[in-house]
Structure 1
Amino acid sequence: MLLSFFGTVLLPAVLTALYLWLVAADQYASRVGFTVRQEDAASAIELIGGLSSLSSSSSSDTDILYEFIQSQKLVSDIDGKIDLHAIWTPAERDPVFGLAENASIEQLLAYWGRMVRISYSAGLIEVEVRAFEPGDATRIAQNLLDESSEVINELSAVARADAISYARDELDEAVERLKEARSTVTRFRNENQIIDPQIDLQSQAGLLGNLQAQEAEQIIELDLLRETSQQNDPRVAQAERRLEVIRARISAERQKLGFEGSGQAGRVFADLVGDYERLSVDREFAERAYLSALGAYDTALADAKRKSRYLAAYMQPTSAETAEYPQRVTLLMVVTLFLFLLWSTAVLVVYSVKDRR
């Protein structure tokens, strides 16, 4: 049993210790922390018009950034700039903790997951980068920060470009609707030879009221003549004729206004007023839509001129002075405990088999 304990637990533990302290290269850690900030200040147009901002929530940007840091693209880009293969392949061969020579991009990505640890909480991202030289760890962390900032800038630029394009399309549509509405009003005026039917309606109503007043006066005058003159008095016939003319004119004016009969010479005034009001409402709606679209477009342009989202580093890449990894004592204890549990399990199995026999 002692021999098995020596061969299964002690010897592997000693070999592990020798490797950790004599072969394994020291690893230095550099830490960097950042978050995505969103510009909260509103532009002058937004303050005047109450228009909303284009920027999306920074939490979703942080989620994107968290995934980007673990992506193959980031690893490939940084490798192209500072040669991660050379940095993570130690001068003294370390097959356990070092990167294999001529590693593929997939192997490099897997090794990146071992050497770059990400902590994400409450919108804050903290990254720990390890390398075999303190300067290399800082370089990787700085490049990671730069690439992350570039991604946020690209996302913001794409969002602003999309917002401007959408606002421009909306503005173009609003301009066309306004042109069409104004053109329709102009055609209506030309066809009916009327600038504003409301003004003409007031004029016609005033004329009708005046004629009705004249009719009343003429009726009174005719009644007085009939009471004070003879039946064949020519003044009575003249007064009756004048009353007929006034009533005929009143009837003609009422037809124009659409109060009676149907206009045969043209459309009645009530229809003209109704059509003009409908066209005026359409034009007013088109004007308001145009002003709204113009305000949205100006807001999009104003937002495009300022950096609405950016990467804010609350902790710049640190430079290590002491190696923190590999954690030799912890690793040795874990390996020894695992070997002891393995040996104990094997011994229990052996004794159980012997007891059954």
Structure 2
Amino acid sequence: MADGSKGKEQKRAAQGVEGASNPERLQTDEKSDGAVSRPNATSKQQGGQNPHTAKQTWQKPAQNAQKPQQAGANKPRPQGQHSGQAKQGQWAKKQQAASQVVTPQKVEQPKQKEQAKSYPYAEAAGLKRRHFGLIVSFFLLVFLPLAVTVYYLWGIAEDQYSSVTGFTVRQEESAGAQELLGGLAQIASTSSSRDGDILYEFILSQSMVRSVEERVGLREHYSMYWETDPVFSLWPDASIEDLEWFWQRIVKISYNSSSGLIELQVLAFDPETAHAIASVIVDESQLMINALNNQAREDAMRYARRDLDEAVERLKQAREAINAFRTRTRIVDPDTDIEGRMGVLNNLQQQLAEALIEYDLVRQTAKVTDPRLVQAQRRIEVIQQRIKLEREAFASASIETGAGEEDYPDLIAEYEGLVVDREFSEETYRAALGAVDVARAKAERQSRYLATYIQPTMAETSEYPRRAVIVALVALFLTLSWGVMALVYYAIRDRS
């Protein structure tokens, strides 16, 4: 018993040294001492085991380290106290090494147990009654209509064939005659930028539908599958307004307003009918362009003839005014009369010059009382008086006419005005004649024409209806509708 008490004191001393560096380990060893104080048969059998086996288990390291000491206490003490103290020192070092190895694992054990207790297991997920309602609604509102659509498109809908054609409106450009006439002939042409807009509206109009119906038979063709395929067919007793509505479905137009290119696609139940309808559209469009040309030519010719008639009437009035003036004044040509009067004045000026020269010659050789000098002086005075009278006749003289006396200057001014009117009327008449010639030349050729850059095609395989695209769109629409209705339903239910 004395040896057992000494072993316990040495163990506590070793634990005190270790506890100074690791307090938690010291508390754990003190708790384990109570459990080791009562040896049993199992501990006696394990007295000869290697103390390093404490590393294999971490639950009770102190108990495993004390088992060799308890087994030694029950056995007879060997002779010599020195050998017993050496063995106890070795057991203390091994116990300290074992405690240092297992200390980190033992500290974490309470934390793991606390974490396991703080998070309880979640219950298994399962379908509720409201989930079955969603599934049923999805089946009725999405899956069932989509299945019906797929069945109709692939099992009932008839194949459709397309014919494609493309054309544009071209205008002839000729500016030679127009430049010579200063642009007066531009009334015969209109801008081609609006021709494409007119043709686009004409193709979609009721006139085009009526023309195609008369030449191809739209009702007969598109109503032959009415009983089996009512979605893509036309009812047999459709009116012209119904045909115009259905025309938007079978004819698709692509129009580029900047370039003026028009491309259209025609759908029919057989390729021959689609090709025939596209050909009729091209022919009717050509007739429409020709009608526009004829209308433009008629307008140009009408305007040119109207301008020419006005010019002729104005020229006629100007010439009649001059004839009336001549009849009234009895002056055929006032210019000629003026030239005659100017000739008389010039002759008097010449005679005056000769009389002055003669007077100077006589005065040099004769006396003042010489009759020749007096006669020469008299002659000079008479000539000067005549020149004065002639000059006054141009400014204030009056002449005898059929209507009485009239001032000669007023007559000259009136005549000059009549001459100006006649010259202007003659120039206008010449310009009007040129415009008529240009309009007639443009009328003889086609200024606008339909240029077909894609002839109507003949399909070999069916491309319509677009079954995959239609199914995808229907599925998307049904899914979105179902989702919106489900959200609205649950939002209302949660608020109520």
Who is 1:16 aligned against? Answer: 149
CA contact 2:397–2:408 (8 Å) conserved in 1: no
Query: Given the alignment, which residue of 281, 286, 292 partners 1:144?
Result: 281
Q: Which moved more, 1:345-354 or 1:225-234?
A: 225-234
For 2:399 and 2:363, the matched residues in 1 are separated by 38
Post-superposition CA distance 1:237-270 (Å, at most 9, x none): 4334423432332123213322xx4436555554
2-structure distance, mates of 1:244, 1:190: 38
Give unpaired runs (5+ residues) of structure 1.
Answer: none
Contact 1:255 1:268 survives alignment (8 Å): no
Q: Structure 1 residues 68 and 304, CA, compared in 2 at 3 Å: closer, same or farther?
A: same
The superposition leaves residues 16-56 of structure 1 with CA deviations (integer Å, 9 ceiling, x where unpaired) of 1110011111111111111111111356x446435444221
2:193 alignment partner, SS class: helix
Matched residue, 2:255: 120
For residue 218 of structure 1, report the CA deviation from its aligned partner.
Answer: 2.3
1:59 paired with 2:193, answer yes
Within 2, Cα distance between the matches of 1:207 and 1:40?
62
Does 1 or 2 have the higher relative contact order (CA < 8 Å, sep 6+)? 1
Partner of residue 99 from structure 1, selected from 231, 234, 240: 234
Deviation at 1:222, TM superposition (A): 3.9
Q: 1:4 aligns with which of 131, 137, 149?
A: 137
User: Matched residue of 1:169: which SS?
Assistant: helix
Contact (CA 8 Å) 2:399, 2:408: kept in 1 or not? no
Maintained 8 Å contact 1:38/1:58 = yes
Q: Which residue of 2 aligns with 1:70?
A: 204
Q: In structure 2, what residue type is equivalent to 1:56? A: T
* Cα displacement (A) at 1:352: 2.2
Structure 1 residue 207: Cα displacement: 2.8
Q: Distance between the aligned counterparts of 1:193 and 1:264, measured in 2?
A: 10
Q: 1: distance between equivalents of 2:411 and 2:379?
A: 31
Q: Across the two proteins, how many residue pairs are aligned to each other? A: 354
| Contact 2:297–2:443 (CA under 8 A) maintained in structure 1 | yes
Structure 1 residue 338 displacement after superposition: 1.1
Preserved contact between residue 212 and residue 280 of structure 2 (Cα < 8 Å): yes
Change (3 A) 1:30 1:115: same
Give the aligned residue type for 1:94: D
The 2-side partners of 1:352 and 1:243 are apart by: 132
In the TM superposition, 1:108-257 aligns within 5 A as 108-121=243-256, 122-222=259-359, 225=362, 228-229=365-366, 233-257=370-394
Partner of 2:104: none
Q: How far apart are 1:292 and its partner, in Å?
A: 0.3
Q: Is the 8 A contact 1:156 1:309 kept in 2?
A: yes
Residues 286-329 of structure 1: per-residue CA shift (max 9 Å, x gap): 11100000000111111111111111111111111111111001
For 2:143 and 2:480, locate their aligned partners in 1 and report how far apart those are by CA, in whole Å: 13
Quote how far apart the aligned CAs of 1:350 are. 2.5
CA distance, structure 2, for counterparts of residue 264 and residue 191 of structure 1: 12
Indicate if the aligned counterparts of 1:201 and 1:269 stay in contact, CA closer than 8 A. no
Q: What residue is the counterpart of 1:86 in the other structure?
A: 220
SS of 2:398 mapped into structure 1: coil
Deviates more, 1:334-343 or 1:284-293: 334-343
Counterpart CA distance in 1 for 2:328 and 2:354 is 38
Change (3 A) 1:47 1:353: closer
Match of 1:49 among 173, 177, 181: 181
Give the one of 35, 55, 63 matched to 2:168.
35
Q: Letter of the 1:125 partner, please give it.
A: I
Any gaps of 5 or more consecutive residues in structure 2? 1-133
Instruction: Indicate conservation of the 8 Å contact 1:55/1:309, yes or no.
Output: no
RMSD, aligned α-carbons: 2.3
CA distance in 1, matches of 2:371, 2:398: 36
Q: Kindly indicate whether residue 469 of structure 2 is the aligned counterpart of residue 330 of structure 1.
A: yes
Partner residue, 1:308: 447
Measure, in 1, the Cα distance between the counterparts of 2:326 and 2:375: 42
Amino acid at match of 1:290: Y
**CA–CA separation in structure 2 for the residues paired with 1:190 and 1:95:** 90
Alpha-carbon spacing, 1:47–1:347, altered in 2? closer, same or farther (3 Å): closer
Whole-Å Cα distance in 2 between the matches of residues 219 and 263 of structure 1?
A: 31
Equivalent runs, 1:277-292 vs 2, <5 Å: 277-292=416-431
- Alignment identity in percent? 49
For residues 268 and 254 of structure 1, the distance between their equivalents in structure 2, rounded to whole angstroms, comes to 14
1:38–1:55 contact (8 Å) kept in structure 2: no
Q: Could you tell me which amino acid in structure 2 is paired with residue 34 of structure 1?
A: F
Letter in 2 for 1:308: S
Contact 1:90/1:132, CA 8 A, preserved across alignment: no
The one-letter code of the counterpart of 1:30 is: S
CA–CA distance in 2 between the matches of 1:249 and 1:189?
Answer: 28
